[in-house]
Amino acid sequence: MNLKSSNYSRYNLVKEMMQTPDVIRRFDPKAAEEFAPAVKKRQRLFLTGEGSSRIFPAKRAIYDTLKKADRLSIAIDGATQGLEYDLSAFAVFGASNSGKTKEVVRLFQSLRKADHQALFALTAYKDSPLDQLAHGSHILLSGKEEAVAATKTVVEQALFYDSLLRVLRSEGMKGLDALADKFEEALTHQIDPQLVDKAKNATTVYFAGRNTGVVEELTLKTNEITRKRADFLEGTYAVHGIEEVMDARELIVVVEPFESEESKFRECLVDGVGMEVIAISTRKTSFPTLVIPEAGDYQSYVEIAAGWNLLVEIGISLGIDLDKPQRARKVGNIYQGK
């Protein structure tokens, strides 16, 4: 991805992706401090939102919590399904860039009527319907997005939850400048044209890897950016039955593959199906690999950047107008005040 070329710079999507390193640099590590007491009191956290506002920010938070053996219990789900849950003991965070996502607003209205006392919002718009319903809001500094596919706001939402978990662990949030540099490196790395061609010519692009929100988010972005069919295969699901219906015209992108499982992927998918497998990883794998910088606890952010880079290259190669999908909308289901 290269903003110096008009092939890229004319798209709002690319501009907003390229603004993300500065969003990381400007993020306040103390942003979540005022929200921590309510979460600490309950030790239960429910994270909701629709699409990108939930997938990466919330799933990354769960992965981090389990990896650090935190006592905090985190649950996530879509806001409509959340209406069926007893959330009275949870601190609830609703993420919506617009603050007008109908499902999230409706859940907060229901919880307000039930006299819930710990409702919090992540939104770019102060005084939006969601902000007005919340007991407290973090207003995203990344600002308005013009592109349909959410990018910079997704990363800021993830950073906020990251900050919240670190406050609860009494752990400082350091190294954001270094993360921003590595994010930008992954975003602007020149990808081997052969890797792009493999993805460009695939009928379906699968994404596999850890359930951190990265591969699921990149699956959604594949639909929005490249207009290709895509599917999310968590962990090693790709070699546990779905290979029966895969074919050689398809492609799978494995993000930071488990080294112990590479031979099985090759046996089932490359040798068995005849399909292409490529990897995004901090190491050179046994598959054609887009090698990315190591970033420790922040690794998932760099993986997202590399995936965006690949998807933009695919879209550009296909001659797609990255800013104008035919059916997808910026706010999938907008609250109309009813």
Going from the first residue of the chain to its last (338 residues), give the mean pLDDT of each consecutive group of 10, the final group possibly shorter.
83 94 96 96 96 95 92 95 97 95 96 97 94 96 86 96 95 95 96 91 95 96 93 92 93 95 94 95 96 97 98 94 72 63
Question: Of 173, 203, 234, which residue sits at a domain end?
Answer: 173
- Site of tokens 């009275």: 88
Measured N-to-C along each axis, helices 12-26 and 176-188 cross at an angle, to the nearest 10 degrees, of 160
Confidence at residue 145, expressed as pLDDT on a 0 to 100 scale: 84
For residues 280-302, one letter each, b for 16 or more C-beta atoms within 10 angstroms of the residue's C-beta and e for the rest, the string is: bbeeebebebbebbebeebbbbb
Q: Name the DSSP letter for residue 85.
A: S
Structural domain contains residue 323: no
Structural domain contains residue 24: no
Residue 242 amino acid letter: I
Say which CATH number the domain at 221 has: 3.40.50.10490
Whether residues 169 and 210 share a domain: the answer is no
Q: Cα dist. 325→54, 69, 307, 321 in Å?
A: 21, 41, 19, 7
Confidence at residue 331, expressed as pLDDT on a 0 to 100 scale: 58
Whether residues 108 and 150 share a domain: the answer is yes
CA-to-CA distance for 245 and 204, rounded, in angstroms? 12
Question: Of 158, 173, 188, which residue sits at a domain end?
Answer: 173
Confidence at residue 338, expressed as pLDDT on a 0 to 100 scale: 60
Confidence at residue 154, expressed as pLDDT on a 0 to 100 scale: 96
State the residue range of the domain holding 236. 177-317
Instruction: Tell me how many degrees the CA angle 141-142-145 measures, rounded to the nearest 5.
Output: 135
For the record, the structure tokens of 139 come out as 């207003």
Query: Do 305 and 19 contact (CB within 8 A), yes or no?
Result: no
Count of domains in the chain?
Answer: 2
Given CA atoms 292, 294, 300, 301 in this order, what sign does their dihedral have? negative
Whether residues 121 and 221 share a domain: the answer is no
CA-to-CA distance for 166 and 67, rounded, in angstroms? 13
Q: Name the DSSP letter for residue 242.
A: G
CA-to-CA distance for 311 and 333, rounded, in angstroms? 25
CA-to-CA distance for 324 and 152, rounded, in angstroms? 18
Whether residues 248 and 275 share a domain: the answer is yes
Whether residues 194 and 284 share a domain: the answer is yes
Whether residues 57 and 111 share a domain: the answer is yes
Which residues does residue 47 pair with via DSSP β-bridges, in sequence order?
Answer: 76, 93
For residues 152-177, one letter each, b for 16 or more C-beta atoms within 10 angstroms of the residue's C-beta and e for the rest, the string is: bbbbbbbbbbbbbbbbbeeeebeebe
Confidence at residue 7, expressed as pLDDT on a 0 to 100 scale: 86
Give the closest residue to 311 by CA, choosing from 6, 3, 24, 8. Answer: 8
Q: Which residues contact 66 (CB under 8 A, 6 or more apart)?
A: none
Q: Cα dist. 148→47, 128, 164, 327, 335 in Å?
A: 22, 19, 28, 10, 17
Question: Of 153, 173, 193, which residue sits at a domain end?
Answer: 173
